[in-house]
Structure formats: C-alpha cells, structure tokens
C-alpha cells in the first residue's frame, strides 16, 4: 500500500493563477480531509469528505474548492491564488471517524508570490 | 478561538530522560484525543490516543494522561531517544463531528 499520496511536492504560483493539488489514497477509506499548516500553527481543516460525492466545509474553506468523484481521489482546487494561501497542504484519510486515526500524505508546499 | 492549545512551542530534553508534552483544551464536549508526531518534510503520523472515559493509555515508551476536570492532557515519553526529536501535535474530536481540532504543536529536541 502506498497510503496517501500527494502531488506536487512543491509549487510556486503567481497571484491570480489557479492550480489543483492532487490527493489519492489506496486504503479504501471513506473519509478524506484537506488541511493547511501555517508556520508555528497547527493544522486547520479546509474541506472534508465522508464518501464519494459528498463534501463539506471545514474551518478555513474560503478560496478553495474540492470534489470527490471516487473513493480514492480528493483533489483541492485553488482558483485565484493569493499570498495568504502560501502554506503547506496535507491530505489525510480515515476509514471512519470519531476514534479512527487519520493517515496523512507527505504534504505540498505552496508559495504564492 | 483556539480550542486546543499547546503552550510550549519547544522543549529540549536529554537522551534517556523523560519528555513531557502538555496540551490544554477548552471544549468539554471533546471525547477523544490523539497525539501525532511530525518529522520535517513528512506528514503527521499517529502516535497514541485516549478516550475521554479513560485517564491513562500506555503504548511502549509513550503514555498519555487525561485530566478531564482540568481539561488537560499530557504525553510522556520515557526514556527519550534521539529519534523522538520531532514536532508533536495534540488533537481532539467531538463525537460525531468528523473533524480533528489540532493544537499548534511542540517541537521536541532530544540532546545526546
């Protein structure tokens, strides 16, 4: 099992550009999550999904969009990149919720200039 | 509104000694707590968890203690090893909320 994979590892965007961060898991997990981590801060939830076709907002959803067309994939879309979106982005998955641990990908470091 | 707080950004401990990482929370409805460990350039990995119905959970060198009345939990690592040097995040879940709430993290450095 590869677990949770994320691409790209690094990306530099200009203000106003758009991009999609890819996330794939091969553990047949129902739940998937996107977090961002700013320096010296904890992880903040952007969006999450409880299954294919179902997504919901987290704590900091503004400026992002997601889709979940398959169990395996959960891409995160930035439409108009802003410097405030400079961060490290982590995708995670879990089989269910409550006490189930989440498995994280290695992260994507995004810089918007 | 920081519902989960780790007030120590960093901690330095001698190899072989005990490391104690602390976490405070404000929401008494949290019913499950987890600790994650993160190395540079990697995603967080699950370390240990505890349900709110318990006050202690142990796994090898790692023990988590929960004090519900004080809304405080701590992670004890004994003995500390150089490979334990990492950032440690405390996280909490509201039952049925499907979302983890993370603290800011504590950078632990184990000195030889």
Q: Which helix (H) or strand (E) holds A14?
A: none
Q: Which B residues, 60 through 79, put their C-beta within 8 Å of a C-beta on chain A?
A: none
Bridge-partner residues for A89, per DSSP? A36, A108
Measured at the CA of A87, the angle between CA A81 and CA A90, to 5 degrees, comes to: 110
DSSP A75: -
> Chain A residue closest to B2 (CA)?
A42
Closest B-chain CA to A47: B99
Domains (range + CATH), chain B: 4-111 (2.60.40.10)
pLDDT of residue B91: 95
In chain A, where the domains are located: 17-95
Prior bond of A84 cis (ω within 30°) = no
- CB nearest B98 (choices: A97, A101, A103): A97
Residue B106 pLDDT: 97
Residues of chain B with pLDDT under 70: 1
Nearest C-alpha in A relative to B51: A99
**Of residues B49, B98, B105, nearest to A101 (C-beta):** B49
pLDDT on residue A35? 97
Which pLDDT belongs to residue A97?
63
A73: which DSSP letter?
B
Cross-chain Cβ contact A98/B32 below 8 Å: yes
Taking the CB of residue B1, how many other CB atoms lie within 10 A of it? Answer: 4
Q: Which CATH superfamily is domain A17-95 in?
A: Immunoglobulins (2.60.40.10)
What does the alpha-carbon distance between residue B80 and residue B83 come to, in Å, rounded to a whole number? Answer: 8
Q: Which residues of A touch B36 (CB under 8 A)?
A: 104
Per-residue pLDDT of chain A (113 residues; tens, 9 = 90+): 789 999 999 999 999 999 999 999 999 999 999 999 998 888 999 999 999 999 999 999 999 999 999 999 999 999 999 999 999 999 999 987 656 789 999 999 999 99
Contact B1/A at CB under 8 A: no
In tens, the pLDDT along B15-26 reads: 999 999 999 999
pLDDT of residue A98: 57
pLDDT at position A40: 80
Neighbour-count burial of A54, counting CB atoms closer than 10 A to its CB (0-12 exposed, 13-18 middle, 19+ buried) = exposed
Measure Cα distances from B101 to A17, B8, B89 in Å. Answer: 30, 17, 10
Residues of A in contact with B51 (CB under 8 A): 99
What's CA B90's distance to the chain center, in Å? 4
User: From CA B66, how far away is CA B22, in angstroms rounded?
Assistant: 10
Four-residue CA torsion sign, B103, A75, A81, A58: negative
Tell if the CB–CB gap between A40 and B98 is shorter than 8 Å: no
Contact B43 A97 (CB under 8 A): no
**Predicted pLDDT at B49:** 94
Give the chain B residue whose CA is nearest to the CA of A37: B104
**What is the predicted pLDDT for the residue at A99?**
61
């Amino acid at each position: 099992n590869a677990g949770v994979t994320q691409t790209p590892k690094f990306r530099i965007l200009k203000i106003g550009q758009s991009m999609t961060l890819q996330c794939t898991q091969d553990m047949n997990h129902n739940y998937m999550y996107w977090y961002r981590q700013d320096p010296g801060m904890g992880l903040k939830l952007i969006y999450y999904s409880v299954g294919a076709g179902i997504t919901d907002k987290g704590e900091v959803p503004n400026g992002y969009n997601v889709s979940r067309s398959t169990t395996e994939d959960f891409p995160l879309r930035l439409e108009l990149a802003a410097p405030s979106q400079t961060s490290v982005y982590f995708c995670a998955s879990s089989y269910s919720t409550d006490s189930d641990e989440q498995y994280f990908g290695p992260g994507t470091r995004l810089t918007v200039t | 509104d920081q519902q989960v707080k780790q007030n120590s950004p960093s901690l330095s401990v001698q190899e072989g000694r005990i490391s104690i990482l602390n976490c405070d929370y404000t929401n008494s409805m949290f019913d499950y707590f987890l600790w994650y460990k993160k190395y540079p350039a990697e995603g967080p990995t699950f370390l240990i968890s505890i349900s709110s119905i318990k006050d202690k959970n142990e796994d090898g060198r790692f023990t988590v203690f929960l004090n519900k009345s004080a809304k405080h939990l701590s992670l004890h690592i004994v003995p500390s090893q150089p490979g334990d040097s990492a950032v440690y995040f405390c996280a909490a879940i509201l039952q049925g909320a499907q979302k983890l709430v993370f603290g800011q993290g504590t950078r632990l450095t184990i000195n030889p």
